[in-house]
Amino acid sequence: MKIATWNVNSLRARADRVEEWLERSDVDVLAIQETKCTDANFPSEIFEFMGYEVAHFGLSQWNGVAIASRVGLEDVQRGFENQPVFGKPGEDEVLEARAIGATCGGVRVWSLYIPNGRGLTDPHMDYKLRWLDALRANAADWLKQDASAEFALVGDWNVAPRDEDVWDVQYFLDNELTHISAPERAAFNAFLDEVGLVDPVRERTPGEYTYWDYQAGRFPKNEGMRIDFQLLSPALASRVTGAFIDRDEREGAGASDHTPVVVELG
């Protein structure tokens, strides 16, 4: 069984690339982020034609998450328990379309699009940290209830947890950028150190990135970031036989600024 995660940065704009990649990669489950679709205009037909069931959570032209599976799609859940809401001053708070879960081939898969944070003192940063903390609490509870549970938290985490996960950490520090701050890294690492989840991709892809900004020719210069992850429960991690980052999918016209991250299970 192969599980992939991919922030496609507008599914309708990249439908052809997604379809072609699915044909080449032969993955069983694809978790998608930043679809930028409502449920009404989500192009489900491209997945169904290829034999995938698909579930989507999208409220507007922003955010949006989905799971496509050819090994079953059961118990779909849009949003997780106690997921934080967000609203700008003077506006109603809403549950953003940033998390969807489903059971695929016996594995509970969550497609996650963690809030960006935007700035170190921006209200979105507090939202991001609260969001990660609530997700961590859920993951810890799932393992407390069943230590043998097989689940995967996959997606765009918008955190680079180690210095090696950005092309130039000093550039980020000098410009007071997000993704590498101590609170963000602590929130991410709590999933590994406190909950006990496993990142099976890093050890198999040393020095690789998953994201390159469109600006300033970042991709040709390999000025990237590792911010897309698959964090697995211990029981599921014990089944991992391989993992890779498909850097080639970042190349060419019309590419997303992220590239797929794939885990293979035995």
Token pair for 167: 């092309």
DSSP 86: B
Binding-site residue positions for Mg(2+): 7, 34, 156, 158, 257-258
Annotation says 258 is catalytic: yes
Considering the candidates 156, 165, 199, 228, report the single residue annotated as catalytic. 156
* CA distance to 61, 67, 98, 183, 196, per residue, from 57 (Å): 12, 9, 8, 28, 28
Token pair for 201: 């991709």
Q: What are phi and psi of 123, to 5 degrees?
A: -55, -25
DSSP 205: S
Annotation says 156 is catalytic: yes
Considering the candidates 199, 209, 211, 258, report the single residue annotated as catalytic. 258
Q: What is the DSSP secondary-structure string of 21-58?
A: HHHHH--SEEEEE-----STT--THHHHTTT-EEEEE-
Considering the candidates 52, 56, 113, 209, report the single residue annotated as catalytic. 113
Residues tagged active-site: 113, 156, 258
